[in-house]
Chain A
Amino acid sequence: MKRDRATPLAHTVVVASAIIFAVPIIWMVLSSLKPGTQLTEDPYSLLPVRWQWSNYPDAISSMPYLRYLRNTLVLCIGSVIGSVLSCSVAAYAFARIRWRGRNILFGIVIATMLLPWHVTMIPRFLLLRELGLYNTLAALIVPTFLGDAFFIFLLRQFFLTIPEELSEAGRLDGLSEWGIFSRIIIPLSKPALTTVALFQFIASWNDFNGPLLYLSDPQKFPLAYGLEQFISSYADQTNLLLAAATLFTLPIVLLFLLAQRTFLEGIATTGLKG
């Protein structure tokens, strides 16, 4: 990699940009610890006049936080299982089995990625409602068991890199196609499967549109949607709102920091080869 030695000016530009990018998050965390009065009377002071840690328990108790959290976890875990299962099986069909129709169908997989959600939203909503899934978390989980074009693409690219000889050896040992898939390919694909699991977990954690469309009963709201209810009803308690937002963001940030490599490689690969 060609790297120019940074001049002091360049260094300053980088540090300044980093500060601009970091300020919103730092400001959010610091303000979530301020007393409510400080936000209105002295909105531009950086540090809290008093570190009010009680904002966090207050934010949690001012909404059914634990129930929202439970719903979110059900949603995330269900969706991760669904995506990993359905997408790995489908990706195997598109990467490792030679059948007619494979290329055409894989072209369709790619095409569905480019189809705006607007086109399918209404009939899909009515169909899932017809199936009795309206106002259940299942409306958000069941579709993940039916594959996702982006993840199928990602896994297919990974499966293609596994040497064909390994499958061949499995075949000679009498393994069925399913056996080759589950005993050879899957154990070798942990990095790619982790990427899918991670992306799906975050997508489900963050998902707002799904609950907006399919859920009406507050008992079933996940955090992302529950938090939105909180915006309108506690508009004058910005410190609590920011505490709730910080708490909601924290797991994602931790997950990202723990799995940074997986993350960045996943994005770079799919972006360049896409």
Chain B
Amino acid sequence: MTCGGGTGWDNHAGVVNCVSTSQHTPSARLSKHEDSVPQPSTKPNPLCRELTGLFFASPWLIGFLLLFAYPFAASLYWSFCRYDLLSPPDFIGTANYRRLGAELLAGERFGLALWNTCYYTLLSVPLSIALGIGLATMLSWKIRGQALYRTIFFLPSVMPVVASSVLWMWLLDPRDGIVNYALSWVGIDNQLWFRGASETLAPPGWFDFGSKDALALMSLWGVGNFMVIYLAAIGDIPMQLFEAAELDGAGRLRRFWHVTIPMLSHVIFFNLVMGMIQSVQAFTQIYLVSEGTGEPAGWSLVLSLHLFLSAFQDLDMGYASAMAWILFVVLLVATIGLFRTSRHWVHYQGVVR
């Protein structure tokens, strides 16, 4: 590869050297915001710059083309095909999407998986926001041993998911599990957790914890990542705000509600978006606790698991691709929707960075 352009570049120098050759014109590059400054005509060959940039970006660029762009296009095409890997993809129009629509209306596989995913997301995301803020607030208090508590709260979130799944399957064992034992002290008996199909959000079963509740509990235990972000953001809140509120006679609770929470709204928003994306995409722990089946009775068959099984167990690549695209579009619309609402409740001003 040469830099060309008839400027007499040394071919041996190669792409990465071409910008350095321009050292005769340092003034062209001293400005930090080159884009907005009129460029002297002696600036380094623009083609050279392009090639240098592309050269440095090339590992990512190759990865993007092979692992994102091509798969993106291929899965879109395959979502309109019947494709079982044994024979080439066979175009069948929107049949996969119509099948998904029918399953959705009937509440069968795809409909069930969508419901399970929504349930898990709606349960775990708000609770993780509340818990993340709660723990971070506690850590911002003047308490001896704060570093130790921070480590304790954070540690579960780095625990390998295989290990934490093993651990929680045992903690939530319906017969011998320590959680049921602790719950029995407060009069809540015989929870089925990972073995149960009931749903807490549904009114008749307030204290019937099923498999998705167990998964949400597991995700709450790993809330440390978000907690750390909240903690950093609390540290960034200007102290004058608290002092002003105190002078106005605001008590501890009102300061929390009217100063801390609004000043954390940008992190709450981040947590909401990322939490939603993560919950919808959650796979490993769900695969592990249901032994790769989504059992009992399909109540932990979330979209990710259903998609995986359709693709690699049933070899129904077209159907799985169509599902992936629906998931992608729904997630995209939900994210855009959240960004739209954020204008009304997220405050960015006054954040010290």
Asked if A190 lies at the interface with its beta carbon under 8 angstroms from chain B, I say no
Q: Chain A interface: which of B11-19, B104-112, B187-195, B199-207? A: B11-19
Chain A binding surface SS class: helix
Cβ–Cβ contact B16 & A176, under 8 A: yes
A206-247 interface bits toward B, Cβ cutoff 8 Å, 1 = contact, 0 = none: 101100110000000000110110011000001001100110
Cβ–Cβ contact B59 & A127, under 8 A: no
Could you list some 15 contacts between A and B, CB below 8 A? Answer: A4-B141, A5-B141, A11-B143, A21-B153, A27-B171, A97-B53, A101-B50, A101-B53, A120-B68, A146-B67, A177-B52, A212-B287, A225-B162, A231-B288, A273-B353
Known A25-B155, A177-B20, A271-B270; contact A5-B142, beta-carbon cutoff 8 A: yes
Cβ–Cβ contact B20 & A94, under 8 A: no
Cβ–Cβ contact A1 & B140, under 8 A: yes
Residue among A118, A147, A172 with the most chain B CB within 10 A?
A118
With a cutoff of 8 Å between Cβ atoms, the chain B residues found around residue A21 in the complex are 152-153, 155-156, 221
A102-118 interface bits toward B, Cβ cutoff 8 Å, 1 = contact, 0 = none: 10010011001011111
Cβ–Cβ contact B288 & A228, under 8 A: yes
Chain B binding surface SS class: helix
Q: Chain A interface: which of B30-38, B94-102, B119-127, B208-216? A: B30-38
Cβ–Cβ contact A24 & B167, under 8 A: yes
Known A21-B156, A24-B171; contact A241-B166, beta-carbon cutoff 8 A: yes
Give me the 9 closest cross-chain CB pairs, A-B, nearest first. A146-B63, A99-B53, A147-B60, A93-B56, A123-B71, A271-B229, A120-B71, A268-B232, A90-B60
Residue among B60, B167, B168, B225 with the most chain A CB within 10 A?
B60
Asked if B23 lies at the interface with its beta carbon under 8 angstroms from chain A, I say yes
B128-171 interface bits toward A, Cβ cutoff 8 Å, 1 = contact, 0 = none: 00000011001011110000111111111011111100111011
Chain B residue nearest to A124 in the complex (CB): B71
With a cutoff of 8 Å between Cβ atoms, the chain B residues found around residue A90 in the complex are 56-57, 59-60
A205 to B151, CA, bound (A): 20
CB distance from B51 to the nearest CB of A (A): 8
Of the four ranges (under 10, 10 to 19, 20 to 34, 35 or more), the interface on chain B belongs to 35 or more
Cβ–Cβ contact B56 & A89, under 8 A: yes
A214 to B288, CA, bound (A): 17
Asked if A187 lies at the interface with its beta carbon under 8 angstroms from chain B, I say no
With a cutoff of 8 Å between Cβ atoms, the chain B residues found around residue A209 in the complex are 283-284
A134-157 interface bits toward B, Cβ cutoff 8 Å, 1 = contact, 0 = none: 000000000101110000100000
Asked if B197 lies at the interface with its beta carbon under 8 angstroms from chain A, I say no
Of the four ranges (under 10, 10 to 19, 20 to 34, 35 or more), the interface on chain A belongs to 35 or more
Cβ–Cβ contact A17 & B23, under 8 A: no
With a cutoff of 8 Å between Cβ atoms, the chain B residues found around residue A105 in the complex are 57, 61
A2 to B265, CA, bound (A): 18
A273 to B327, CA, bound (A): 27
A108 to B57, CA, bound (A): 12
> In the complex, which of the residues B141, B166, B232 contacts A245, with contact meaning CB atoms closer than 8 Å?
B166
Asked if B72 lies at the interface with its beta carbon under 8 angstroms from chain A, I say yes
With a cutoff of 8 Å between Cβ atoms, the chain A residues found around residue B78 in the complex are 122-123
Known A120-B68, A120-B75; contact A168-B29, beta-carbon cutoff 8 A: yes
Asked if B267 lies at the interface with its beta carbon under 8 angstroms from chain A, I say yes
Chain A residue nearest to B177 in the complex (CB): A43
A142-182 interface bits toward B, Cβ cutoff 8 Å, 1 = contact, 0 = none: 01011100001000000000001000100110111111110
A18-49 interface bits toward B, Cβ cutoff 8 Å, 1 = contact, 0 = none: 10011111011001000000011001100000
Asked if B250 lies at the interface with its beta carbon under 8 angstroms from chain A, I say no
CB distance from B337 to the nearest CB of A (A): 14
Known A99-B52, A108-B64, A241-B166; contact A14-B270, beta-carbon cutoff 8 A: no
Asked if B328 lies at the interface with its beta carbon under 8 angstroms from chain A, I say yes
Known A90-B59, A121-B324, A213-B312; contact A99-B142, beta-carbon cutoff 8 A: no
Cβ–Cβ contact A17 & B170, under 8 A: no
Asked if B181 lies at the interface with its beta carbon under 8 angstroms from chain A, I say yes
A22 to B224, CA, bound (A): 13
A164 to B78, CA, bound (A): 47
Cβ–Cβ contact A116 & B324, under 8 A: yes
